[in-house]
Amino acid sequence: MEHRQLQAEIFGIRMKKRSSHDGLLGQRAELMAELFLEGLEPISVARPPHDFGYDLLVVFKNSKGGINTFGVEVKATERIVPSRFVIDRRTYGRLAHSTIPGLLLVADVKQNELFFAWPAQVDILRSESSSVSIPLTQINSKTTAELHKRLVA
């Protein structure tokens, strides 16, 4: 048995096979999103135990004493994000037309920047295209405050 593997077994650590580049980018983007959302002081940020359409579920206490739940889709990129981001039509449909409001977070993992969009507010043309171009807003101190206000409204 290899020395590193033996050490891992002794300490109860599972060794993972090397992940793909895209997989690592996705993990980094999800961690960036999770840290950002935790900074907004939600009741909970959860990773669903299996894939049911969202990367994260986030819950906030609202001003009337109830709770607001949002499904969050996280996308990663290594390129500077333009003012628009293209997602597939199925993802758009799930985010825009579910009973749980959907929030899109796009992480530029090279520049450590986050962008967001509310797909339900995007007017799309009735086309047969398999993708939808969504306008993004860069997250900064001003837009963070505006986003937080909407999440707890």
Collapsing DSSP to helix, strand or coil, 107 comes out as strand
Is the pLDDT score of 15 beyond 50? no
Residue 68's beta-bridge partner residues? 60
- Which of these, 44, 20, 60, lies nearest to 148 by C-alpha position? 60
Q: Going by DSSP bridges, is the β-strand pair 131-135/137-138 parallel, antiparallel, or unpaired? A: unpaired
The owner of tokens 């986030």 is 58
Average pLDDT, the chain: 86
- Which of these, 150, 149, 87, 139, lies nearest to 115 by C-alpha position? 139
Collapsing DSSP to helix, strand or coil, 89 comes out as helix
**Domain extent listing, the chain:** 20-151
Is the pLDDT score of 83 beyond 90? no
Compute CA distances 151 → 52, 60, 64, 87, 148, whole Å: 22, 7, 13, 23, 5
Quote the pLDDT of residue 109. 95
The CATH T-level fold of domain 20-151 is Trna Endonuclease; Chain: A, domain 1 (3.40.1350)
CB atoms within 10 A of CB 143: 14
* Mean pLDDT of all residues in 108-130: 83
Question: With bands split at pLDDT 50, 70 and 90, how would you rate the model's confidence at 122?
Answer: confident
Residues 6+ apart with CB under 8 A from 49: none
Ramachandran bin of 135, using left for φ above 0, alpha for ψ from -120 to 50, beta for the remaining angles: beta
